[in-house]
A and B are shown apart, each in its own frame.
Chain A
Amino acid sequence: MANNPAQFALLSRILHWLMAAMLLTMLFIGVAMVASLGNYHRLVAIHRPLGILLLILAAIRLVNRMCTTLPPFPPTMSPMERRVASASERLLYTLMFALPLVGWGMLSAGHYPIVMFGPMHLPPILPASPTLYAVLRTTHTLLAYLLFLTFLAHLSAVVFHTLIIRDRLLDRMALWPTHSRKSKIIDDKNPLTQQMETPPMITDPSSGIVKFTSPWPYRETVERIEAALLAKKIKVFANIDQSAEAAAVGLTLRPTTLIIFGDPSKGTPLMVEHPDLALDLPLKALVWEASPSEVYVGLTSPEFLQNRYGLPSSPFVEVVRFFTVLTNSGAQP
């Protein structure tokens, strides 16, 4: 199964569902065991090794998270929603580490052997201390309730997007075949598929501007353009945050950044030939957020530059191709 840029990486999706099932099981075991006399021991015997297994999986997941690129947020998510989603992700990662570590530390402080299975057990990670035990025991419970509430909020948000907004948010994490992928093969009348296949590029010859729809949020668009330029060894001379400049004088401008970039080894010969071309070099890319769901990238069109300076050919077509590939990379189904 190849990775789809609109989805999380396969390993991320497997870890997500595996850990979701295990964490939910753990929360139920935990809340059941503290209330149970008859099954207490049986539940504790599962709770302890399962907690350590979750700690190991959390470590694998964190490394995987740092090594993979995330699919873009769907345009249906507002900047506020995106901030909340990112914050809740950080909270969930923190809790995935904190809960087993606090549990382990609490048993250490309580002078308990940390039995896994058979004769296997773990060493204590904290000194035996009544006060420490009491604090960690309470912390363990509070963090577990916090994890359960965060899980409920996460579940509510995803189900809301899936059933009410119907933006296929869940497809990003799907381990099952999703509608959009199936439709690519069997249903090319599907407007969604057709939409996906249209390059997100609009050219208006009269204005001399080529405009792309970005598949990413504003900030991410700026970061991705800069990263892609650097990867191609193209120099980024400046990044001018126009909205910040506006704010500095007490005015409001929609989020707008001007990126000035170029390759002196290619631009210099052109400027030697056409001195006035230096007015438009280095090249410029403009990123702006029309609304939280609409981020655009604008370039001066190659034809416009060719006409303006009377160039025999247009060396800038390459740049448009570069931006077409880049903005398409996040939008393919």
Chain B
Amino acid sequence: MSSSDPDRIPDTEPAPLRGAGLILRLALIGTVVGGIAGLFLYTGGWFSPHTLSPAKMIDAFELAGGKHPGFRRNHAKGVCVSGYFESNGQGVAWSKAMVFAPGRVPIVGRFALAGGQPYQADAAHTVRSMALLFKLPDGEEWRTGMNNIPVFAVNSAQGFYDLLLASAPDPATDKPDPAKMTAFLEKHPESAKAMQLIRSQPVSSGFADSTYNSLNAFRFINAKGMVTPVRWSMVPVQPFAPFDAASPAQSDKNFLFDALIAEIHNHPLQWHLILTIGQPSDPTNDATLPWPPDRQQVDVGTLTIDQIESEDTSPVRDINFDPLVLPNGIAGSDDPLLSARSAAYSESFTRREGEHKDPSAISSSETGK
């Protein structure tokens, strides 16, 4: 900036840069600023499109189950419930979480069938889930999503992604390609073993007499700071009845949900919350592996479900049952599926919350019956 004004105070600026010096300095600026921008994009995964991301994971769910805007990308068909959990105080020895102090906390929850199709017909062998949100007195929350299978079918996000691609319908036949599933099981022997264990377990007659398992391991921290690996289960008070393959009720596409609705209208349903206390040698990072059957089991309280409501009217439709929303006293383990579930659920939640909502298969007229 120069001026011809003769009164001008002598300039404090150094002489303007020219030639190589100028180009070198401009190049340095470009490198620094461009480098930071590049690092930012790299961190955001722009340069690694083949790395598995939450968005790719949910894309795979949409591929396997079809795209159904407004619905959860997995466990899409469901119904909302509420009730309470009554702690007997036994859990205090393992966790300082307020939910285990003797007394009652309200819960809301959701029963659902695995899969991305919100209008699929109920089937005995479709995985059933119970998701719960415990509302602790101090405002903390404990959210959990449990399944009626003894172990999970995969032990990593990549395994889940591969399974989704293997079970996606072939565009030519509109059915999954058996060759792809065979290839998947060869690539993932841990899944082959887990699926065998899942198939060996007898299936119960409905939602009410199913046992729901946390599948992932968590860490329980008590008031003294002792950390214990724990898996938990909701074990029904309702007596187990094996599924009757000859039952004529199966012709109704909502027969499992209809039975659940009728039972809750008849009397509250109850489950015992059973902690399985892990030993240091028990695998916490692999949800496909069962823990030894002789592990200590502690009954820490009773869940009572006495209300049922359609997703069309219940606020529970818009709750993300992220398994890492945990109260102080429960923490995630080293199981890589936990962070992956948290990330993928968040992506699914963000997609569906911005979409138009179609009515649930389990409508208010069903739940009111």
Residues of A within 8 A of B (CB): 27-28, 31-42, 44, 75-76, 78, 110-113, 115, 118-119, 121, 123, 128, 130-131, 133-135, 137-138, 148, 152, 155-156, 159-160, 163-167, 191-192, 195, 198, 200, 202, 211, 213, 290-294, 296
Contact = CB atoms under 8 A, between A and B. Distances in A.
B178 interface: no
Nearest to A30: B44
Nearest to A137: B350
B41 to A, nearest CB: 8
Contacts of A137: 350, 353-354
The contact size tier of chain B is 35 or more
Q: Which of A31, A130, A156, A191 has the most CB of B within 10 A?
A: A130
Contact of A111 (B9, B157, B315, B340): B315
Contacts of B343: 33, 36-37, 40-41
B174 interface: no
B97 to A, nearest CB: 9
Nearest to B12: A195
B13 A213 contact: no
Interface stretch (B32-40, B192-200, B237-245, B360-368): B32-40
Contact of B353 (A40, A110, A160, A213): A110
A38 B45 CA distance: 13
A34 to B, nearest CB: 7
Given A113-B140, A195-B9, A128 B318 contact: yes
A290 B2 CA distance: 11
B78 to A, nearest CB: 16
Contact of B9 (A110, A152, A166, A200): A200
A76 B54 contact: no
A294 B353 contact: no
B226 interface: no
B58 to A, nearest CB: 11
Interface in B307-360: 315, 318-320, 322, 324-325, 327-328, 332, 336, 338-340, 342-344, 346, 349-350, 352-354, 357
Contacts of A42: 339
B251 interface: no
Interface string B30-65: 001100110110011100000111110100000000
A128 B314 CA distance: 12
A152 B32 contact: no
Contacts of A75: 1
Contact of A164 (B22, B36, B53): B22
B158 to A, nearest CB: 9
Contacts of A33: 343
A36 B336 CA distance: 12
A12 to B, nearest CB: 24
A171 to B, nearest CB: 12
Given A75-B1, A110-B320, A290-B3, A40 B342 contact: yes
Nearest to B37: A152
A31 B140 contact: no
Q: Which of B12, B315, B352 has the most CB of A within 10 A?
A: B12
Interface string B133-145: 0000011110000
A290 B353 CA distance: 59
